[in-house]
Amino acid sequence: YFPRFIKKGIEIGLLNEELSRFDLEKLAQALDPERDLQFDYLGLQTLYDRYFLIDRNDNYSGEGRRIEMPQAFFMRVAMGLALNELNREARAIEFYQLLSSFDFMSSTPTLFNAGTTHSQLSSCYLSTVADDLDGIYEAIKENALLAKYAGGLGNDWTPVRALGSHIKGTNGKSQGVVPFLKVVNDTAVAVNQGGKRKGAVCTYLESWHLDVEEFLELRKNTGDDRRRTHDMNTANWIPDLFMKRVMESGEWTLFSPSDVPDLHDKFGKAFEQAYTAYEAKADRGDIKHFKRLPALSLWRKMLSMLFETGHPWITFKDPCNIRSPQQHVGVVHSSNLCTEITLNTNDTEIAVCNLGSVNLVNHLKPVASSQDRPDLDLEKLHRTIRTAMRMLDNVIDINYYAVAKARNSNIRHRPVGLGIMGFQEALHAMRVPYASQEAVEFADRSMEAVCYNAYWASTDLAEERGAYSSFRGSLWDQGVLPLDTLKLLAEERGGYVEVDMSSTLDWEALRARIKAHGMRNSNCVAIAPTATISNIVGISASIEPTYQNLYVKSNLSGEFTMVNEYLVQDLKRLGLWDEVMVSDLKYFDGSLAKIDRVPAELRQLYATAFEVDTSWMVECAGRSRSMFTWLAHPERSSTRLTSSPGYVG
């Protein structure tokens, strides 16, 4: 079947002809059909509906026939990632083993497009929009081209002048940012990622922009619909000075970027100095187009809109830049669609990130009996990450770039984002409640191991392939590792950094190796939402606690009944899994809290996202930030809180 599948895919114009030059018989022998049994129904249906290649000329079902089966799908992706390898068959089999075992899963664009005639494999694109009509519509065009092949978008709109600002060319007044964001919103809807899933974009605006108050209301269901963006994500890009003013109950001044053009590229103490100087100019009457209001009232409105609409998300400018390894070549102006990465953007570079996630629960040591508690398998994690980082690095060279600015940036800086998923399942397997100090300690150790191995793998690639071209002058080059940047942040802030900085691995050895060989990738890790790929694997997304133990999930593939299999196994072991239990779970919306016949330790172990105190979620996420980022993703409330993510993505 497999050689015929490859031949058919090439004949109908779906697959890259280069795939026919692999030893297809050898690859076919490596396929393991037993691994199909790992899927749950949602995972397999998701692949069938949106990932498997379709022969549209065959009207078997009225919409074409799927010509791809699950293991052939994984091998096709592996082949697509091994195109430039010297020993392509061996590498393809190595990559296939990682994907088909669910130990690691590449991001959706890679799964969609690897090995095809348009191999757009990257997950995220970040751009800065220029303050002129040509630049604005060029950015919207770039959004459309990048979204066509499943790229997620993050746009920095801060440079665009505010409502009422003077337009020198016409001697008129600007309509501000909002009308253009309506066009961005509608473009994302129209270009729906090649007909495979909804287009997605997030717009970022700094908190000193004069249009920020109207920006906060973009997702409201009331008001003038011409000034609403119901399908687009929004995010605040907040400097530390604003939070300082909030804490001090001080005043905050809103400006048009056309009057304060350098604020966009400044951060930390330099931003504070320039900002206060502009406030003084406004007081003297040198700047006339501004607004002053209590910082606390703006902060309350930000939180109110977040509670009411789930937007704009809360992201922080200064930590992202102070901890950025690439601050020698530019400024981080925004995060991306899902806030897991922070990369430099400018007029000539659209930042690109290539994502994939390790399945954490698959990296626990097997135990002899159910009474034993598994622990992290550091050897297996090292092997997985070494191969995964190679796959991610390969994406950069194989990738199809619809926009030249994206290619220039990606080849120059080579950022990748290795993430995790299945954190909750790992805790279940270890019999550790999410709301516990043990969970916090596991988050610390597991994240340290993931980051350490990702950085080490990047130095191995640098030794083999060479360091990325902008490595000289970076924090990596200066011997400053992610853990060290917390000290930089504390120095810049004058304190206010409370996080555990302990470590258990030999970071000095890594520091010496980076000094000797450099880094292949400017950025290595990210905590991505993993929303769809975790569905494929059949585990919880990202670092999230269990949503509910029994619920119905709706997506483009339909509605699916989801059940916590770990809980079911425990209830069966105790003789408690029966129709009454199912009815109780339905009645209490998947919660065990009020089902008295379930033992207290199980109720604690299987507490859901709505029962876990959010302080524990912040604690778990906070331990991981000491290595690279603090990123809490309470997806149920659609919030995004980021701090100190200089080394993500």
> What string of H, E and C letters represents the secondary structure of 304-345?
HHHHHHCCCEEEEHHHHHHCCCCCCCCCEEEECCCCCCEEEC
Q: What are phi and psi of 639, to 5 degrees?
A: -100, 155
Radius of gyration of the chain (CA): 25
- Interior angle at CA 319, CA 314 and CA 322, nearest 5: 155
C-beta separation of 176 from 209 below 8 A: no
| Helix (H), strand (E) at residue 292 | strand 290-294
153 contacts 191 by C-beta, under 8 angstroms = no
Q: Is the peptide bond before 70 cis (omega within 30 degrees of 0)?
A: no
Say which amino acid occupies 339. Answer: T
Q: What stretch of H or E contains 275?
A: helix 268-284
Tell me how long the chain is.
649
> Would you say 321 and 400 are in contact if contact means Cβ atoms under 8 Å apart?
no
Residue 394 to residue 82: CA distance in whole angstroms? 7
Is residue 336 flagged as an active site residue? Answer: yes
155 is catalytic: no
Residue 590 amino acid letter: G
Q: How close are the terminal C-alpha atoms of the chain, in Å?
A: 38
Residue 520, judged by CB atoms within 10 A of its CB (0-12, 13-18, 19+), counts as buried
Distances (CA, A) of 279 to 214, 215, 286, 314: 22, 22, 10, 24
Nearest residue to 649 (alpha-carbon basis) of 419, 349, 404, 401: 419
Active-site position among 155, 233, 336, 394: 336
Do the strands 152-156 and 201-206 form a parallel or antiparallel pair, or are they unpaired? parallel
Distance from the Cα of residue 254 to its chain's centroid: 30
- Cα separation, 328 vs 216, in Å, equals 32
Rounded Cα–Cα distance for residues 419 and 408 (Å):
24
CB 358 within 8 A of CB 446: no
Q: Is the bond leading into 599 cis (omega within 30 degrees of zero)?
A: no
Cα–Cα dist 255/240, whole Å: 17
Q: Which residue in the block uniquely carries the two structure tokens 């990450």?
A: 385
CA dihedral 358, 561, 37, 120 (to 10 degrees): -50
Strand arrangement of the beta sheet that strand 630-632 belongs to: 351-353, 124-128, 152-156, 201-206, 233-238, 313-316, 641-643, 630-632
* Cα–Cα distance, 215 to 340 (Å, whole number): 22
Task: List CB contacts of 642: < 8 A, sequence separation 6 or more.
Answer: 314, 315, 316, 320, 335, 339, 342, 629, 630, 631
Choosing from 340, 349, 492, 619, the catalytic residue is 340
Any idea what DSSP says for residue 403? S
CB 236 within 8 A of CB 313: yes
Q: Of residues 124, 338, 451, 524, which has the active-site annotation? A: 338
- The single-letter DSSP state of residue 554 is E
Task: Report in angstroms the alpha-carbon separations of 389 from 75, 514, 627.
Answer: 18, 16, 17
Check if the beta carbon of residue 626 is closer than 8 Å to that of residue 566: no
Q: What are phi and psi of 305, to 5 degrees?
A: -65, -35
List active site positions: 336, 338, 340
